[in-house]
Amino acid sequence: MNRSLKRTIVVSIIIVVAIILGLIVDLVWGNIEKSVHPDDHLEYVRKYAYEYNVPESVVFAVIKVESNFDTRAESSAGARGLMQMLPSTFEWLTGDEHLGENLHKSELFDAEVSIKYGTYYLNYLYQKFDRNWNTALAAYNGGEGNVAKWLADPEYSDGEGNLTNIPFKETANYVDKVNKEIDTYKKLYYEDQKEVNEP
């Protein structure tokens, strides 16, 4: 066997081993990413994402950022559950003006209730703010009233319904975090299929 042929065989083996190692690393990394970005409560996310016309990746991203999938999460401000809704907002949404179920605020710790009302509220904000997800997410975190004021102020808005500058640092960071999580969820779970209600 001549030296050239040996070199070709060695190079071929190295390439094959590198490809196999790359596939193994991708598989392991994908599993690690999925453990950090679970699709827990998929049946509820899918049901209410479809019912309220919100992309599943948006719902999962909000849950990830808000509570990291802890159904018992409660913030210092009193927001509760997977989607960290304030009891006052929940009470308003459960009233006759919206879903009319008149539930008690303790229900926010129930996964299905939290996902149902959080997803409904996301759709409400999306519709209210000209079908703009960034603005809806800003309102979910910073409040509808604040976002309405920012949109009316040329210092914070382009005059066409887009926020150009979010004055609350927490809200600006929140929108960025949720968008990053949306991208991650799309890549992990929706790359090979069209997502229902894709943004």
Q: Which two tokens stand for residue 173?
A: 């960071």
User: CA-CA distance, 47 to 174, in Å (whole number)?
Assistant: 25
CB neighbours of residue 75 within 10 Å:
11
Q: Which two tokens stand for residue 4?
A: 């050239």
Amino acid at the residue 86: L
Question: Which is catalytic among the residues 56, 66, 107, 181?
Answer: 66
Q: Strand, helix or coil at 192?
A: coil
For the four alpha carbons of 61, 90, 164 and 55, in that order, the dihedral sign comes to: positive
CB 109 within 8 A of CB 42: no
State the DSSP string of 141-188: HH-HHHHHHHHH-TTTB-SSS-BS--S-HHHHHHHHHHHHHHHHHHHH
Does residue 66 carry a catalytic annotation? yes
The distance of Cα 108 from the centroid of its chain, to the nearest Å, equals 18
Residues labelled as active-site residues: 66
